[in-house]
């Protein structure tokens, strides 16, 4: 028809029916009656956890209705699909829906992995003995949770890249699996509105990730109301996923509908199903059967005949597919068997299923966390929970006894499938790290040809890649910036990972640095995709806990597009205890000069400082980069500390000095004296410099000595965050131990004997140095780059932001004058001599 010029509509959606016809449904392998009882007990306990917590402490919160809609989708997985690792093969990797935690805890309670005390302490983590976290947080429950999923969208995104990373590990022969784990992601239908959820689904199809299964719990509701009241979320998602190349399995209608659909010879029932919008379907879930008869079937009088033999009560109870064990089983089985594509299961459910008037299908359902006695009785009756009338008001937990068929069945199923889930376990052996002496070339400096710290890093990475102990575990991750950072040499050397290899001859094949894709390539070249890169970083950085292998990711990116853009994923790295190095390239508001307002970063260090277990460094010289990375490797991969690193890298070429003797500890602790001021001057000052801006401090040192009789020591500050944390720690201890000898922080003891004034200058906002001001003797005057960046020369930008050598001189003199050490006429003279315009506008305000 297309050839004949007919405009044929694109067919990305199929009829609003189950994808698997009844005739192809497999027999159910389990005892669904026992499973139904187990599921009912889990439902009850999940509800009781939230209700009890909020009865004890009003306002603790929690969600009942999400798990209520998910229960069947989880239980079919737990009883028949989710693989554990008891057989020595990897366990399935499951991203559970973040706010359905009560369901996971309630099952673990039946499995005897948690006891009543745990359930009673849901959301009371600070109670005696600890409590259960609201959401999946590995940091807070490191033997249980693997993946933080409650920042919506991040779980789905991580799952894509985890499935891909599993393929990468296999392609590079870093693992030897006889059974490839499945990656499962349970996603909310509302959650699919997050760009992170759907933004990269095409990757999974492009790379044929048939090890990936998504289950979208289409309960048609999010927090405030319907997801697509005026449309159909299942159809919309089907179009998106089919368009992206996924295998889509819709599980819309429960078995009760099969007979009706079989009798729908005119197609009128299907027509009615298709024209009904989700807002109406939600309404049917809260109304009695008579309403459904009148409004759904009664819309076409002929349809009424179809349901003549059904009572109103039967009509109301007609299942949706996602609550039908057999339909869900059929979908999961088909997903397991599907080859060549990822699978998404779109399962239609009811939010708050079983809560009745307390929240089933209601718009308030998401927030419901209390139930009155009547509602509890109804719930108990509906799910047949053996709790007596006297006890019900207490909402006790119910656990079938050890000798019950339910407990036996549940344990047998998990045993057959290889053990309990979720479970996080760290078995990866430590790696042997290179000693600092192996980086001699960086420690020596190079006072002949100028280079940037970015270049130093790239050379260092190349040498690490060649290291026989750790080279193969390194995962370079690049979001289409390799050429920006001078890393294109690596393409040829270690290859870019591509499951298809390279099906074409690259245009630059003749050059020695050609664009080289390979099936076992080591680089993850993510394209223009910081979010995907972070998901890869997380997959690699947690391989020690997911796969028992230490991988060392180095993710290098434009520092402006890091914390500012994908900061939530970096926060998640802290929770998930990912290891690895984040490298903020082209850092510094004035050092990256031509790119202007949206590129020039003067605040990533500030944002980085908000993550407790992120170690952040701002090195000035090649040897500092080497010392920091060597120590980071040692701490993360040898000592197995739960930390990760953020290191700024700059692109300004400078002459790299040799490392002064004995400064390693100072570099790591955050500050050391780089160059003392000349002897025999009348006044004393100290200038803290970081990154390439330390050179402005050095230039100021000379001017101060030659023109103003001031000897200024120049210090390199590599880590303000750590200096602050250490100082705070001591101050706190001293406050709590008033009668004991006070402790002194590294910063305080290092500066204790120094005389004179202190000035700091950096290519970051003033607040970065200012965070240590209260522990600097006599206070600290900070110069920094507050305000929007501009495109111009470095020189002009540094004058504009008032961090050039002249301003450092002025700041030093004005600090001395403020102390009365010199007269006010001296800074006034300097303003004149240095050509500073005192009426220039403040850069923050222009
Ligand atoms: C990034 C982010 N934004 C907002 C929230 C708050 N939030 C938690 S659950 C929820 C609604 C979830 O709806 P849906 O994804 O449909 O899941 P359901 O509970 O319906 O299964 C919201 C808005 C969050 N957790 N993360
Ligand atoms: Mg929903």
**Per-residue model confidence (pLDDT) at position 2:** 86
Helical H runs in 187-343?
195-198, 201-206, 233-244, 256-263, 268-275, 278-286, 289-291, 301-306, 312-317, 325-337
Ligand 2 centroid–CA 58 distance in Å is 25
Ligand 1 pocket test target in 197, 366, 566, 568 with most atoms within 8 Å of CB = 366
C-alpha to C-alpha distance for 478 and 485, rounded to whole angstroms: 10
**Per-residue model confidence (pLDDT) at position 731:** 98
On the CB side of 365, CA atoms within 13 Å amount to 27
Q: What are phi and psi of 381, to 5 degrees?
A: -65, -45
Q: Which two tokens stand for residue 552?
A: 């060392």
CA distances from residue 387 to 53, 122, 261, 391, 500 in whole angstroms, order as listed = 19, 21, 39, 7, 58
Q: Is residue 446 pLDDT above 90, yes or no?
A: yes
Task: Tell me what the mean pLDDT of segment 592-616 comes to.
Answer: 97
Q: What percent of the chain has pLDDT over 90?
A: 96
Q: Which long-range contacts (CB under 8 A, 24 or more apart) does 397-401 make?
A: 397/44, 397/45, 397/48, 397/49, 397/109, 397/116, 397/119, 398/41, 398/44, 398/45, 399/41, 399/45, 399/109, 399/110, 399/116, 400/37, 400/38, 400/41, 400/110
Q: Is residue 10 pLDDT above 80, yes or no?
A: no
Q: What is the pTM assigned to this prediction?
A: 0.97
For the sheet containing 474-478, what is the strand order? 524-525, 474-478, 552-558, 581-585, 644-648, 614-617
- Nearest-CA residue for ligand 1 atom 22 is 223
- 708-749 confidence digits (pLDDT tens): 999 999 999 999 999 999 999 999 999 999 999 999 999 999
Q: Is residue 612 pLDDT above 80, yes or no?
A: yes
Residues with CB under 5 A from ligand 2 (ion): 188-190, 219, 221
**Per-residue model confidence (pLDDT) at position 820:** 97
> Residue 185: which of 157, 214, 206, 209 has the closest Cα?
214
- 385-414 confidence digits (pLDDT tens): 999 999 999 999 999 999 999 999 999 999
- 20-33 confidence digits (pLDDT tens): 999 999 999 999 99
Query: Collapsing DSSP states into helix, strand and coil, what is residue 687?
Result: strand
Torsion of CA 187, 188, 189, 191, to 10 degrees: -90
- Nearest-CA residue for ligand 1 atom 17 is 188
Cα 594-598-601 angle, rounded to 5 deg? 80
**Confidence band of 292 (pLDDT split at 50, 70, 90):** very high
Ligand 1 pocket test target in 97, 154, 190, 192 with most atoms within 8 Å of CB = 190
How distant is the alpha carbon of residue 448 from its chain centre? Answer: 43
List Cβ neighbours of 626 (8 Å cut-off, separation of 6 or more).
436, 439, 442, 443, 456, 460
How distant is the alpha carbon of residue 644 from its chain centre? Answer: 13
Q: Is residue 628 pLDDT above 90, yes or no?
A: yes
**Per-residue model confidence (pLDDT) at position 846:** 86
Ligand 2 centroid–CA 66 distance in Å is 7
Query: Collapsing DSSP states into helix, strand and coil, what is residue 451?
Result: strand
C-alpha to C-alpha distance for 232 and 627, rounded to whole angstroms: 57
Task: Tell me what the mean pLDDT of segment 334-341 comes to.
Answer: 98
pLDDT averaged over every residue in the chain: 97
Query: Collapsing DSSP states into helix, strand and coil, what is residue 528?
Result: coil
In contact, 392 and 376? CB cutoff 8 Å:
yes
- Nearest-CA residue for ligand 1 atom 12 is 222
Pocket of ligand 1 (CB under 6 A): 66, 69, 99, 150-153, 188-191, 217, 219, 221-223, 227, 351, 366
**Per-residue model confidence (pLDDT) at position 489:** 92
- 791-823 confidence digits (pLDDT tens): 999 999 999 999 999 999 999 999 999 999 999
List Cβ neighbours of 289 (8 Å cut-off, separation of 6 or more).
311, 312, 313, 314, 315, 316, 317
Q: Which residues of 624-639 are buried (b: 16+ CB within 10 A; e: fewer)?
A: bbbbbbbbbbbbbbee
Ligand 2 centroid–CA 581 distance in Å is 36
The atom number, within ligand 1, closest to the CA of 217 reads 21
- 524-565 confidence digits (pLDDT tens): 999 999 999 999 999 999 999 999 999 999 999 999 999 999
C-alpha to C-alpha distance for 604 and 614, rounded to whole angstroms: 12
Ligand 1 pocket test target in 99, 151, 236, 531 with most atoms within 8 Å of CB = 99
Q: Is residue 643 pLDDT above 80, yes or no?
A: yes
- 665-695 confidence digits (pLDDT tens): 999 999 999 999 999 999 999 999 999 999 9
In contact, 695 and 621? CB cutoff 8 Å:
no
- 294-316 confidence digits (pLDDT tens): 999 999 999 999 999 999 999 99
**Per-residue model confidence (pLDDT) at position 365:** 87
**Confidence band of 129 (pLDDT split at 50, 70, 90):** confident
In contact, 480 and 536? CB cutoff 8 Å:
no
**Per-residue model confidence (pLDDT) at position 398:** 98
> Residue 80: which of 331, 354, 258, 248 has the closest Cα?
331
Q: What percent of the chain has pLDDT over 70?
A: 100
């Amino acid at each position: 028809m297309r050839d004949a010029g007919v405009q044929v509509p694109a067919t990305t959606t199929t009829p609003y029916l189950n994808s698997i016809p009844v005739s192809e449904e497999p027999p159910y392998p389990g005892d669904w009656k026992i499973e139904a009882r187990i599921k009912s007990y889990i439902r009850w306990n999940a509800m009781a956890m939230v209700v009890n917590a909020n009865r004890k402490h009003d306002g603790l919160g929690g969600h009942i209705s999400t798990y209520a809609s998910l229960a069947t989708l989880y239980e079919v997985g737990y009883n028949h699909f989710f693989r554990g690792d008891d057989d020595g093969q990897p366990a399935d990797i499951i991203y559970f829906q973040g706010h359905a935690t009560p369901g996971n805890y309630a099952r673990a309670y039946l499995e005897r992995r948690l006891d009543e005390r745990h359930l009673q302490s849901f959301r009371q983590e600070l109670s005696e003995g600890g409590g259960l976290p609201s959401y999946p947080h590995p940091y807070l429950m490191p033997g249980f949770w693997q993946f933080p999923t409650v920042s919506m969208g991040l779980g789905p995104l991580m799952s894509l890249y985890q499935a891909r990373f599993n393929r990468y590990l296999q392609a590079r022969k870093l693992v030897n699996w006889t059974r490839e784990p499945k990656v499962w992601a349970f996603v909310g239908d509302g959650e699919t509105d997050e760009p992170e959820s759907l933004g990269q689904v095409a990757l999974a199809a492009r790379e044929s990730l048939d090890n990936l299964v998504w289950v979208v719990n289409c309960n048609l509701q999010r927090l405030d109301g319907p997801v697509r009241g005026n449309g159909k979320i299942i159809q919309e998602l089907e179009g998106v996923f089919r368009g992206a190349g996924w295998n889509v399995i819709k599980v819309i209608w429960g078995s009760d509908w099969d007979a009706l659909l079989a009798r729908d010879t005119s197609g009128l029932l299907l027509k009615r199903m298709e024209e009904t919008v989700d807002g109406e379907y939600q309404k049917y879930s809260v109304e009695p059967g008579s309403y459904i008869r009148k409004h759904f079937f009664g819309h076409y009088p002929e349809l009424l005949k179809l349901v003549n033999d059904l009572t109103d009560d039967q009509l109301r109870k007609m299942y949706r597919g996602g609550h039908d064990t057999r339909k869900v089983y059929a979908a999961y089985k088909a997903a397991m068997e599907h080859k060549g594509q990822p699978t998404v299961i779109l399962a239609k459910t009811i939010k708050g299923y079983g809560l009745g008037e307390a929240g089933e299908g209601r718009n308030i359902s998401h927030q419901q966390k209390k139930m009155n006695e009547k509602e509890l009785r109804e719930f108990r009756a509906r799910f047949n929970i053996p709790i007596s009338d006297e006890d019900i008001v207490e909402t006790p937990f119910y656990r079938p006894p050890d000798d019950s068929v339910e407990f036996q069945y549940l344990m047998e199923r998990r045993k057959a499938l290889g053990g309990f889930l979720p479970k996080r376990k760290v078995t990866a052996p430590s790696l042997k790290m290179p000693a600092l002496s192996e980086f001699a070339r960086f420690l020596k400096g190079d006072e002949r040809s100028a280079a940037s710290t970015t270049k130093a890093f790239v050379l260092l990475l190349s040498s690490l890649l060649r290291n026989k102990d750790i080279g193969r575990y390194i995962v370079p991750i690049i979001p289409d910036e390799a050429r920006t950072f001078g890393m294109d040499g690596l393409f040829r050397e270690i290859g870019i990972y591509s499951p298809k290899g390279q099906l074409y001859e690259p245009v630059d094949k003749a050059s020695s640095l050609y664009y080289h894709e390979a099936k076992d390539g080591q680089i993850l070249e993510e394209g223009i995709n910081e979010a995907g890169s972070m998901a890869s970083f997380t997959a690699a950085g947690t391989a020690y806990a997911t796969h028992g292998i230490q991988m060392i990711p180095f993710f290098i990116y434009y520092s402006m597009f890091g914390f500012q853009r994908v900061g939530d994923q970096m926060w998640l790295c802290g929770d998930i205890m990912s290891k690895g190095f984040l490298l903020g390239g082209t850092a510094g508001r004035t050092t990256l000069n031509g790119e202007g307002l949206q590129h020039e970063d003067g605040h990533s260090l500030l944002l980085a400082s908000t993550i407790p277990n992120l170690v952040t460094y701002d090195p000035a010289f090649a040897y500092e980069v080497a010392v920091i990375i060597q120590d980071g490797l040692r701490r993360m991969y040898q000592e197995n500390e739960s930390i990760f690193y953020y290191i700024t890298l700059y692109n300004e070429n400078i002459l790299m000095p040799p490392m002064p003797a004995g400064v390693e500890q100072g570099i790591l602790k955050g500050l050391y004296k780089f160059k003392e001021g000349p002897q025999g001057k009348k006044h004393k000052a100290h200038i803290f410099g970081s990154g390439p801006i330390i050179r402005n401090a050095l230039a100021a040192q000379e001017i101060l000595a030659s023109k103003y009789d001031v000897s200024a020591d120049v210090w390199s500050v590599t880590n303000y965050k750590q200096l602050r944390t250490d100082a705070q720690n001591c101050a706190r201890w001293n406050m709590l131990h008033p009668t004991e000898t006070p402790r002194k922080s590294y910063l305080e003891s290092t500066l204790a004997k120094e005389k004179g004034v202190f000035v700091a200058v950096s290519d970051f906002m003033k607040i970065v140095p200012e965070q240590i001001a209260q522990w600097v003797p006599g206070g600290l005057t900070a110069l920094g780059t507050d305000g929007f960046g501009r495109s111009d020369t470095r020189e002009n930008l540094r004058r504009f932001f008032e961090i050039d050598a002249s301003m450092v001189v002025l700041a030093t003199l004005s600090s001395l004058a403020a102390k009365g050490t010199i007269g006010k006429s001296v800074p006034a003279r300097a303003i004149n001599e240095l050509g500073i315009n005192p009426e220039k506008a403040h850069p923050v305000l222009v």
